[in-house]
Amino acid sequence: MAEFVKMTGIDKAFSGNQVLKDVSFDVLPGEVHALMGENGAGKSTLIKVLTGIHPRDGGTIEVRGKEVTFSNPKEAERAGIVVIHQELNIIPHLTVAENMFLGKEMTIGKTGILRKKDMYNQTLENLKRLGVTNIDPNETAGNLSVGRQQMVEIARAVSTNAEMIIMDEPTAALTDREIDSLFDVVESLRKQNVSIVYISHRMEEIFKICDRITVLRDGEYVGTERIADTDFEAVVKMMVGRELGERFPARTSEVGETIFEVKGLSRDGWFDDIDFHVKQGEILGVAGLMGAGRTEIMEAIFGAAKKKKGQVILNGKPLNIKHPQDAIRAGIGFITEDRKDEGLVLHLSIRENIALTNMKAISGKGYISSKKEVNLIDDLIERLHVRTTGREQEVKSLSGGNQQKVVIAKWLGIEPRVLILDEPTRGVDVGAKKEIYNIMNELTEQGVAIIMVSSELPEILGVSDRIMVIHEGKVARFLDREEADQEKIMQAATGGE
Amino acid sequence: MQQTIVNNLSKLGPLIGLVLIMTILGFMSDNFFTLDNLLNLLRQISINALIAFGMTYVILTGGIDLSVGSILAFGSALTAGMLASGMDPLLAVLIGLLAGFAMGAFNGLIITKGKVAPFIATLATMTIFRGATLVYTEGRPITGLSDSFLFEMIGRGYVFGIPFPGILMIIVFFLLFFLLRKTVFGRQVYAVGGNEEAAKLSGIKADRVKIWVYSLTGMLSVLAGIILTSRLNSAQPTAGTMYELDAIAAVVLGGTSLAGGRGRLYGTLIGALIIGVLDNGLNLLNVSSFYQQIVKGGVILLAVLLDRRSK
Ligand SMILES: Nc1ncnc2c1ncn2[C@@H]1O[C@H](COP(=O)(O)OP(=O)(O)OP(=O)(O)O)[C@@H](O)[C@H]1O
Ligand SMILES: [Mg+2]
């Protein structure tokens, strides 16, 4: 079968930094092709080169056997190639229907008068194709959960009758149910002979839905395999260039006394009467469905969102937290779920971002000591293995996983006693995930109490000492490491007994 | 490599522009590059530069302050009134500055606690402060001010032949430069303008930072006003009208982004110099003030367009 897309010998550098070196990549009609690699391996960049967002420095691109160069994504779209980018492209102030038809509005003839009713119905139709029936096309897109926004984008891509859809980490923010319906869509697209390029750090997904897999490492092409001919270990080895060993490192810390307690935390309509505690050196995993209120609970504890009632107690002393600053002063760190909107100032450097939370350590009487700052930042960059050209690099130009490491680095400097991590490994590659787990281990060995919110059950099970399951804003159940399994967690999370 | 050169070029852009304009004016007018004129220039720009420094801070946090001219007028009138009634000049100046600080803080409070967009909030206070000035002065200039050495010095004095306002402006520049680059507060200004949500979650009291920034700007506006008052030896109720535009122009010419979070104080100094040099040079060339405005606007437009290109 002839390739639909064939990229050969692609080179690309950003300001002297070679990001793609002689990369080849081809996609057959109707196949689901996984593009894998560590954070910063160049996956997103390869896609951006294909669709004309970045010009390439060398190599050729063929579509349907004809050599092409797209100068922008619109041209690529006309040739039947659509991308759903890692960073969502939804315009939050517009409605779902307006987003769906952005740039290709249905009008009465050429008058520019909109056919709103038709667009509304077509939007419903497009969403229904994905099995999504609970999104109102007239809803403002920004009010939807990230997962639903993603669904809108996918529906938009599917509606263009594309012949190839590229999904760059589409499931990072989806609920399990949404992921299942996404896979159904992928399946039906495959039957319609649409090619899918699928980028994800969730290995289970790759083996579930993909036909072939291409691996990049450090911007170089490592190889292409049929899924049937390979396995988990082999793929990981291709990605990181060595054996990785256990996915979840053994827990090593000794669990001590209770250090942190939350009592009767409530906020009307969000969560109700939340009670829990964490011990020194313990990791408390917080499981639950997307939208169960886990993030909101953590934000309330941290002083980033309002609470109605309740107490937060550290070392036996009740804290009066009104602003994140109070929480930080008390020794509580909070690694937020959404690194772009809440974790980072994108156009500032790594140095300036990490420094934000660490002003106390690097300044005296309000004056910043450059030497202390540089030392602290370089230490943290090294400790977390952030892949960067240096501390002055803008975090915007880091790959997703490396951005996440910068967010984590921000909080290690304050030497927290309690660290809350909300989806700490979202969009992070297998190797880096393990590094993050190792860091969590290390912190707990020093007596830090960790609260980890995660939607990945394997992670919850692999990392936590104890698990708290949240269902619709209430604590549904606590589980010990020994007794916990996927089924029990899912049952509690969905409100079952 | 190439990108870093381009990057540095865009950082140097305002400076290159300034040198270019100065060279052209130097060729066209024999009087331009005289020591007298250059010192004169330093004095002329000091008022706009001081306001623009404050404006840079405000814009870096993602805000804007349209009320600077009115604050200047009220602060000047207040100081002049106290001087005319025979108050100690140092005390009068300090109280004036404090009033500027308070007016700025008022802006900041409306913007943060009242959650009013900076443009709207300061548009309203621009009118309010101007009205207050007219009420206070009864619409008439205040004259017959102090003949104290200190007060004369501020606007009219020279130290080693250099105009005192210029020296004052340069001292303030270095202080503010240090504040922005080397202190925790400076970092917070950039962070709040770059991503307010992330800044808050990093423990920064964004509201407090903003209130400080508007207060600082209010105080600097009154400082500029006192220089003006000393120079004219009178306070005009209409003083400072439209000064916000020159200040914003200086900030933008200096490469600071109106979206916040990005920019440099040194750029604003260059921006203020560009505007000052244009005013000064075109005067020397006897260009009518009508044409001057067209040229000035054209230069601002050109600078911004070139800046777009390089990004
Ligand atoms: N616009 C840019 N300017 C400079 N460097 C860039 C730019 N975009 C990407 N890079 C660099 O290119 C490299 C590859 O980035 P890319 O985003 O393609 O990685 P990725 O494989 O998609 O990683 P992830 O899994 O984390 O999303 C990284 O080192 C990144 O820092
Ligand atoms: Mg990527």
For the stretch A44-61, pLDDT in tens is: 999 999 999 999 999 999
Give me the half-sphere count of Cα atoms (radius 13 Å) on the Cβ side of residue A128: 6
Token match 């939208």: residue? Answer: A291
Q: Which among A347, A366, A368 has the least Cβ separation from residue B194?
A: A347
The pLDDT value given to residue A148 = 80
Are B64 and B119 a contacting pair, CB within 8 Å?
yes
For the stretch A417-458, pLDDT in tens is: 999 999 998 878 888 888 889 989 999 999 999 999 998 888
Q: Residue B9 above 70 pLDDT?
A: no
Put simply, the answer to whether B201 touches A327 (Cβ < 8 Å) is no
Q: Which of A150, A151, A121 is nearest to A138 (CA)?
A: A121
Assess whether A222 and A330 both reside in one domain.
no
For the stretch A328-347, pLDDT in tens is: 999 999 998 878 888 899 99
Q: How confident is the model at residue B1 (pLDDT cuts 50, 70, 90)?
A: very low
Assess whether A23 and A72 both reside in one domain.
yes
Tell which of A188, A206, A240 closes a domain. A240
Is A247 within a domain?
A: no
Dihedral angle, C-alpha B49, B53, B56, B57, nearest 10 °: -170
Assess whether A141 and A105 both reside in one domain.
yes
Whole-number average pLDDT of chain B: 91
Sorted by sequence, the CB contacts under 8 Å of residue B309 that are 6+ apart come out as none
Token match 């500032």: residue? Answer: A348
Which of A344, A397, A425 has most ligand 1 atoms within 8 Å of its beta carbon, as the pocket-test mutant? A397
Is A253 within a domain?
A: no
Tokens describing residue A286 = 């917080």
- Ligand 1 near A397 CB (within 6 A): yes
What value, to the nearest 5°, has the Cα angle with vertex B205 and ends B204 and B211? Answer: 130
CB atoms inside a 10 Å sphere around CB B114: 8
d(CA A62, CA A450): 50
Assess whether A80 and A208 both reside in one domain.
yes
d(CA A167, CA A141): 20
Domain extent for A19: 5-240
Q: Residue B10 above 80 pLDDT?
A: no
Are A10 and A56 a contacting pair, CB within 8 Å?
yes
Q: Which of A25, A10, A41, A22 is nearest to A400 (CA)?
A: A41
Is A251 within a domain?
A: no
For the stretch B247-285, pLDDT in tens is: 999 999 998 988 899 999 999 999 999 999 999 988 888
Tell me the percentage of chain A whose pLDDT exceeds 90: 47
Which of A19, A83, A200 has most ligand 1 atoms within 8 Å of its beta carbon, as the pocket-test mutant? A19
Rounded to the nearest angstrom, the minimum Cα separation between B208 and chain A is 12
Contacts of A357 in chain B (CB under 8 A): 202-203
Exposed/middle/buried for residue A352 (C-beta within 10 Å: 0-12, 13-18, 19+): buried
Is A252 within a domain?
A: no
Radius of gyration over every alpha carbon of chain B, rounded to an integer in angstroms: 19
Put simply, the answer to whether B203 touches A16 (Cβ < 8 Å) is no
Sorted by sequence, the CB contacts under 8 Å of residue A123 that are 6+ apart come out as A96, A97, A100, A101, A137, A155
Structural domain total, chain A: 2
Atom of ligand 1 nearest to the CA of A216: 21
Is A249 within a domain?
A: no
d(CA A479, CA A465): 9
Is A50 within a domain?
A: yes
Q: Which domains does chain B have, with CATH numbers?
A: 34-309 (1.10.3470)
C-alpha distances (whole Å) from B110 to each of A135, B115, B125, B186 are 38, 7, 10, 22
Assess whether A170 and A282 both reside in one domain.
no
Q: Which residue's CA is minimally distant from atom 10 of ligand 1?
A: A397
Atom of ligand 1 nearest to the CA of A47: 18
Contacts of A329 in chain B (CB under 8 A): 203
Between B6 and A487, the higher pLDDT residue: A487
d(CA B227, CA B112): 31
The pLDDT value given to residue B132 = 97
For the stretch A296-330, pLDDT in tens is: 999 999 998 877 788 999 999 999 999 999 999 99
What value, to the nearest 5°, has the Cα angle with vertex A465 and ends A463 and A468? Answer: 95
Q: How confident is the model at residue B151 (pLDDT cuts 50, 70, 90)?
A: confident
Are B180 and B186 a contacting pair, CB within 8 Å?
yes
ipTM surpassing 0.90, yes or no?
Answer: no
Say how many Å lie between the CA of residue A259 and the centre of ligand 2.
38
Put simply, the answer to whether B187 touches A356 (Cβ < 8 Å) is yes
Contacts of A366 in chain B (CB under 8 A): 183-185
Which ligand sits closest to the CA of A42?
Answer: 1
Tokens describing residue B286 = 């006897």
- Ligand 1 near A400 CB (within 6 A): yes
Residue in B closest to A363 by C-alpha: B184
Q: Which residue's CA is minimally distant from atom 7 of ligand 1?
A: A397
- Ligand 1 near A431 CB (within 6 A): no
Tell which of A179, A205, A240 closes a domain. A240
CATH of the domain at A136: 3.40.50.300
Assess whether A476 and A414 both reside in one domain.
yes
Which ligand sits closest to the CA of A404?
Answer: 1
Sorted by sequence, the CB contacts under 8 Å of residue A322 that are 6+ apart come out as A303
Say how many Å lie between the CA of residue A39 and the centre of ligand 2.
7
Task: Find the largest Cα–Cα distance for chain B.
Answer: 64
The pLDDT value given to residue A497 = 57
End-to-end CA distance of chain A: 52
Conformational region of residue A80, where left means phi above 0, alpha means psi within -120 to 50, and beta covers everything else: left
Q: How confident is the model at residue A212 (pLDDT cuts 50, 70, 90)?
A: very high
In this prediction, residues B215-220 reach a mean pLDDT of 98
3 state SS for chain A: CCCCEEEEEEEEEECCEEEEEEEEEEECCCCEEEEECCCCCCHHHHHHHHCCCCCCCEEEEEECCEECCCCCHHHHHHCCEEEECCCCCCCCCCEHHHHHCCCCCCECCCCCCECHHHHHHHHHHHHHHCCCCCCCCCCEHHHCCHHHHHHHHHHHHHHCCCCEEEEECCCCCCCHHHHHHHHHHHHHHHHCCCEEEEECCCHHHHHHHCCEEEEEECCEEEEEEEHHHCCHHHHHHHHHCCCCCCCCCCCCCCCCCEEEEEEEEEECCCEEEEEEEEECCCEEEEEECCCCCHHHHHHHHHCCCCCCEEEEEECCEEECCCCHHHHHHHCEEEECCCHHHHHCCCCCEHHHHHHHHCHHHHEECCEECHHHHHHHHHHHHHHCCCCCCCCCCEHHHCCHHHHHHHHHHHHHCCCCCEEEEECCCCCCCHHHHHHHHHHHHHHHHCCCEEEEECCCHHHHHHHCCEEEEEECCEEEEEEECCCCCHHHHHHHHCCCC
For the stretch A19-51, pLDDT in tens is: 999 999 999 999 999 999 988 899 999 999 999
Assess whether A190 and A330 both reside in one domain.
no
What value, to the nearest 5°, has the Cα angle with vertex B291 and ends B287 and B292? Answer: 70
In this prediction, residues A187-209 reach a mean pLDDT of 89
Q: Residue B102 above 60 pLDDT?
A: yes
Which ligand sits closest to the CA of A388?
Answer: 1
Assess whether A338 and A391 both reside in one domain.
yes
Put simply, the answer to whether A304 touches B184 (Cβ < 8 Å) is no
Is A245 within a domain?
A: no
Tell which of A185, A213, A240 closes a domain. A240
Tokens describing residue A120 = 């509304």
Atom of ligand 1 nearest to the CA of A199: 25
The pLDDT value given to residue A289 = 82
Strand partners, A311: A263
Are A281 and A449 a contacting pair, CB within 8 Å?
yes
Assess whether A327 and A270 both reside in one domain.
yes
For the stretch A143-160, pLDDT in tens is: 887 778 878 888 888 888
Conformational region of residue A379, where left means phi above 0, alpha means psi within -120 to 50, and beta covers everything else: alpha
- Ligand 1 near A401 CB (within 6 A): yes
Bridge-based pairing of strands A195-199 and A212-217 is unpaired
Dihedral angle, C-alpha A339, B213, B240, B96, nearest 10 °: 170
3 state SS for chain B: CHHHHHHHHHHHHHHHHHHHHHHHHHHHCCCCCCHHHHHHHHHHHHHHHHHHHHHHHHHHCCCCCCCHHHHHHHHHHHHHHHHHCCCCHHHHHHHHHHHHHHHHHHHHHHHHCCCCCHHHHHHHHHHHHHHHHHHHHCCCCECCCCCCHHHHHHHHCEECCEEHHHHHHHHHHHHHHHHHHHEHHHHHHHHHHHCHHHHHHCCCCHHHHHHHHHHHHHHHHHHHHHHHHHHHCCECCCCCCCHHHHHHHHHHHCCCCCCCCCCCHHHHHHHHHHHHHHHHHHHHCCCCHHHHHHHHHHHHHHHHHHHHHCC
Tally of residues, chain A:
497
d(CA A292, CA B298): 56
The pLDDT value given to residue A1 = 58
Torsions phi, psi of A130, nearest 5? Answer: -95, 5
Q: How confident is the model at residue B165 (pLDDT cuts 50, 70, 90)?
A: very high
Are A492 and A475 a contacting pair, CB within 8 Å?
no
Contacts of A304 in chain B (CB under 8 A): 200-201
Rounded to the nearest angstrom, the minimum Cα separation between A354 and chain B is 10
Tell me the percentage of chain B whose pLDDT exceeds 70: 95
Assess whether A161 and A280 both reside in one domain.
no
Amino acid identity for residue A44 in this structure: S
d(CA B91, CA B94): 5
Between B290 and A112, the higher pLDDT residue: B290
Amino acid identity for residue A492 in this structure: A
d(CA A299, CA A336): 9
Conformational region of residue A293, where left means phi above 0, alpha means psi within -120 to 50, and beta covers everything else: left
Amino acid identity for residue B5 in this structure: I
What value, to the nearest 5°, has the Cα angle with vertex A154 and ends A150 and A160? Answer: 150
Say how many Å lie between the CA of residue A41 and the centre of ligand 1.
7
For the stretch A451-483, pLDDT in tens is: 999 988 889 999 999 999 999 889 999 999 899
Put simply, the answer to whether A342 touches B187 (Cβ < 8 Å) is no
d(CA B171, CA B189): 21
In this prediction, residues A231-241 reach a mean pLDDT of 87
Q: Which of A235, A184, A243 is nearest to A206 (CA)?
A: A235
Assess whether A294 and A220 both reside in one domain.
no
Put simply, the answer to whether A15 touches B4 (Cβ < 8 Å) is yes
- Ligand 1 near A45 CB (within 6 A): yes
Assess whether A221 and A138 both reside in one domain.
yes
Q: Residue B82 above 80 pLDDT?
A: yes
Q: How many CB pairs under 8 A join A and B?
A: 81
Is A21 within a domain?
A: yes
